[in-house]
């Protein structure tokens, strides 16, 4: 028996998910631009400023990958909260990469905006 | 008392995660568990109750899923930093006990590298012992296609078919098979890491940003 055909809504949701996943690395790096943060602070910034609700169990594996790529650094700091926290910060390579990624993203988004303008009402 | 119960609940969860962190070193396991502990304590802030801890653990995901995405991402990241055949084989070995796919990839890689090493060994051995290295067709009344390849002591009865050609053929087959096995390992480790990210719980969701 053939699997049920995905509905247009399912297809759209899948496309949206892929789009967000593509930008997640940039978004996580961008949260660190102003300074070092620990995991939960990053999640809260992503949600508050970019509307991205990242599953909590996946942020640390993603950060460990970024660390292995040399884009972020991490250090344990004894906190006033009573337990140590692992703070992440951008390395020099990470700062350069986030600039390049942001430039690519902006250029891509501007191009797409021009293409979409006729039917998004921007030309009226 | 409530605080102790909450900490006991967190410890039980971390123990379950630890059981699924196969393939990581002790230092990596310690790192993962301490980071998860700090995350939960940050999330509950000063409300250290079993209910608050339960809510934080639910948001993290099941111990198995949390462990799996940690293992595959870390192993894949180490492999990307060292994509030599040994580095890739080490990643495949680390993922072997994680899933059926990990085990199959490990077995195929083992067979592939073993065969590749066999072909290279045959090619390298031929100049030192030409009479005992080759491909023979051995007469067998029950099997008209009875071939024997390799370093044979004693030399089999029958006709040796390749002569010195076994050197370039062995080198070519060994290198090709080694490359294909390496490529297979890299692809499968990446696929396993991607599969961990692709679990429904791992999809980023759009919410309305605070204004």
Q: What is the ipTM of this complex?
A: 0.80
> How near does any CA of chain B get to the CA of A36, in Å?
16
Among B109, B207, B57, smallest CA distance to A47 is for B207
What are B108-140's pLDDT values in tens digits? 999 999 999 999 999 999 999 888 888 888 888
Task: Pick A47's closest partner by Cβ from B36, B202, B207.
Answer: B207
Residues constituting chain B:
211
From the CB of residue B89, how many other CB atoms can be counted at a distance below 10 Å?
18
pLDDT score recorded for residue A124: 47
Burial label, B202 (beta-carbon count in 10 A; 0-12, 13-18, 19+): buried
Q: How confident is the model at residue B206 (pLDDT cuts 50, 70, 90)?
A: low
Instruction: Output DSSP code: residue A82.
Output: S
What are B63-85's pLDDT values in tens digits? 998 999 999 999 998 898 889 99
pLDDT score recorded for residue A54: 85
| Segment 92-121 of chain B within 8 Å of chain A by CB | none
pLDDT score recorded for residue A22: 76
pLDDT higher at B157 or B176? B176
Asked if pLDDT for residue A98 goes beyond 80, the answer is: yes
Three-state secondary-structure class, residue A76: strand
DSSP string, B126-147: TTT-TTTEEEEE---TT-TT-E
Contact B23, B71 (CB under 8 A): yes
Counting Cα atoms < 13 Å in the Cβ hemisphere of A3 gives: 2
Instruction: Output DSSP code: residue A74.
Output: E
Q: What is the H or E stretch that residue A38 is in?
A: strand A37-38
Contact B76, B91 (CB under 8 A): yes
What are A1-39's pLDDT values in tens digits? 566 777 888 888 888 877 777 788 899 999 999 999 999
pLDDT score recorded for residue B205: 55
Asked if pLDDT for residue B168 goes beyond 90, the answer is: yes
State the average pLDDT for chain B: 88
From chain B, the residues in CB contact with A76 under 8 A are 34
State the average pLDDT for chain A: 88
Q: Which residue out of A55, A87, A88 would a mutagenesis test of the B interface target, given it has the greatest number of B Cβ atoms within 10 Å? A: A55
Q: Strand B147-151 to strand A72-78: parallel, antiparallel, or no bridges (unpaired)? A: unpaired
How far are the Cα atoms of A51, A105, B158 from residue B101, in angstroms, in the given order?
35, 35, 42
pLDDT score recorded for residue A87: 96
The share of chain B scoring above pLDDT 90, in percent, equals 56
Three-state secondary-structure class, residue A2: coil
Instruction: Output DSSP code: residue B151.
Output: E
Q: Which residue out of B35, B36, B78 would a mutagenesis test of the A interface target, given it has the greatest number of A Cβ atoms within 10 Å? A: B35
Q: What is the H or E stretch that residue B112 is in?
A: helix B100-125
Asked if pLDDT for residue B152 goes beyond 60, the answer is: yes
Query: What residue has token string 């009344």?
Result: B141
Task: Pick B38's closest partner by Cβ from A55, A69, A85.
Answer: A85
Q: Tokens representing B125?
A: 């051995």
Among A49, A56, A62, smallest CA distance to A21 is for A62
Positive or negative, the CA dihedral B187, B193, B194, B195 is positive
From chain B, the residues in CB contact with A68 under 8 A are 74, 77-78, 80-81
Asked if pLDDT for residue B211 goes beyond 70, the answer is: no
Nearest residue in chain B measured CA to CA from A23: B204
Instruction: Output DSSP code: residue B49.
Output: -
Contact B32, B38 (CB under 8 A): no
Q: Which residue out of A15, A43, A56 would a mutagenesis test of the B interface target, given it has the greatest number of B Cβ atoms within 10 Å? A: A56
A54-58, A104-108, B10-14, B36-40, range with the lowest pLDDT: A54-58
Q: Tokens representing A83?
A: 């337990």
Interface of A with B (CB under 8 A): 16-17, 20-21, 24, 38-40, 47-58, 60-62, 64-65, 67-69, 76, 81-86
């Amino acid at each position: 028996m053939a699997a049920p055909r995905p509905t247009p809504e399912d297809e759209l949701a899948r496309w949206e998910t892929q789009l967000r996943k593509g930008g997640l690395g940039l978004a996580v790096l961008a949260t660190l631009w102003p300074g070092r943060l620990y995991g939960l602070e990053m999640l809260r910034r992503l949600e508050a400023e970019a509307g991205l609700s990242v599953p909590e169990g996946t942020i640390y594996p993603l950060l460990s990958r970024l660390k292995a790529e040399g884009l972020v650094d991490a250090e344990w700091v004894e906190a006033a909260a009573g337990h140590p926290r692992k703070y992440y910060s951008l390395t020099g390579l990470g700062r350069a990469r986030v600039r390049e990624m942001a430039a690519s993203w902006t250029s891509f988004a501007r191009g797409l905006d021009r293409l979409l303008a006729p039917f998004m009402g921007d030309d009226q | 008392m409530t605080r102790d119960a909450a900490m006991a609940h967190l410890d039980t969860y971390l123990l379950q995660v630890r059981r699924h962190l196969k393939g990581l070193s002790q230092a990596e396991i310690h790192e993962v568990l301490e980071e998860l502990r700090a995350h939960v304590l940050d999330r509950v802030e000063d409300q250290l109750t079993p209910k608050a801890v339960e809510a934080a653990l639910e948001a993290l995901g099941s111990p198995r899923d949390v462990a799996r995405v940690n293992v595959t991402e870390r192993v894949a990241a180490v492999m990307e930093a060292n994509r030599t055949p040994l580095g890739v084989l080490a990643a495949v070995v680390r993922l072997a006990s994680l899933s059926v796919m990990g085990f199959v990839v490990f077995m195929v890689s083992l067979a592939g590298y073993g065969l590749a090493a066999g072909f290279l060994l045959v090619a390298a051995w031929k100049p030192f012992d030409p009479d005992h290295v080759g491909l023979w067709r051995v007469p067998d009344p029950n099997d008209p296609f009875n071939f024997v390849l390799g370093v044979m002591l004693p030399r089999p009865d029958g006709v040796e078919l390749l002569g010195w050609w076994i050197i370039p053929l062995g080198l070519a087959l060994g290198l090709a098979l080694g490359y294909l096995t390496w490529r297979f390992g890299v692809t499968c480790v990446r696929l396993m890491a991607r599969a961990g990210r692709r679990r429904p719980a791992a999809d980023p969701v759009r919410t309305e940003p605070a204004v």
